[in-house]
Amino acid sequence: MSKIPLNTPVLDPRIKRVDLESTYGTTAIGENEHWISWEVFHQKKRGDQHVHVGIVHAPDAQLALLFAKEQFGRRLACVNLWVTKSSDIFSFSYDDEDIFDNATAPEKQYREASGFRVMEKINRYKKSKQKA
């Protein structure tokens, strides 16, 4: 690991202030030392749904809320945030994506408003009345 050679002109005041030589070169971050992941949900205004916006790392829910406020609540409108542990989220696998194909399948038109054409029938009726 490289050390700052003595008499290098250094511009960062933090280096000028401390004797960096004595503390430098040994740091390694332990696993989970930067904490676990939390999913953040953002509510733009009262009455809106909370919408997922991203992740923060925190040791507990309180700090997760604090970091979420800094990350996702410091710009743009916000009235409320939720956090939940990422590990508490259950989801389908994208491998099973096709189980949802049914939702928009053409043969399911009988349960859509657009699947019913009343005007055609009304017009046909009106026409037949006129002829009569």
Partner 1 sequence: MYGGGYIQEEKQEATSPIDDSQKLAEFEARIDRGEKIEPHDWMPADYRKQLIRMIEQHAHSEVIGALPEGTWITRAPGFRRKLALIAKVQDEIGHAHLLYSAAETLGKSREQMINDLLTGKSKYSNVFNYPAKTWADVTVIGFLIDAGAIVNQVANSKGSYGPYCRALERICYEESFHLKQGHDAFITLATGTKAQHDMLQDALNRWWKPIMHFHGPPDKISEHTAKLMRWKVKMATNDDMRNQFLDMYVPKILEIGITIPDPNLKKNEATGQWEFSDPDWDEFKRVINGDGPCNAERLAVRQYVEEHGKWVRTAMMNPNQKVVIPFA
96 lies in the binding site for partner 1 (CB under 8 A): no
84 lies in the binding site for partner 1 (CB under 8 A): no
Question: In terms of C-beta density within 10 A (0-12 exposed, 13-18 middle, 19 or more buried), how is residue 68 classed?
Answer: buried
Cβ proximity to partner 1: between 96 and 120 the closer is 96
20 lies in the binding site for partner 1 (CB under 8 A): yes
66 lies in the binding site for partner 1 (CB under 8 A): no
- Helix, strand, coil content of the chain in percent (nearest 5): 45, 15, 40
Of 34, 50, 121, 127, the residue at the interface with partner 1 (CB under 8 A) is: 34
Q: Tokens 């904490």 belong to which residue?
A: 35
Per-residue HEC secondary structure of 51-73 comes to EEEEEEEECCHHHHHHHHHHHHC
Contacts with partner 1: how many residues (CB under 8 A)?
A: 42
Minimal distance, residue 34 CB to partner 1, in Å: 5
Q: Tokens 């038109």 belong to which residue?
A: 109
The site for partner 1 (CB under 8 A) is made up of 1-5, 8, 10-15, 18, 20, 23-35, 37, 53-57, 59-60, 63, 70-71, 74-75, 93-94
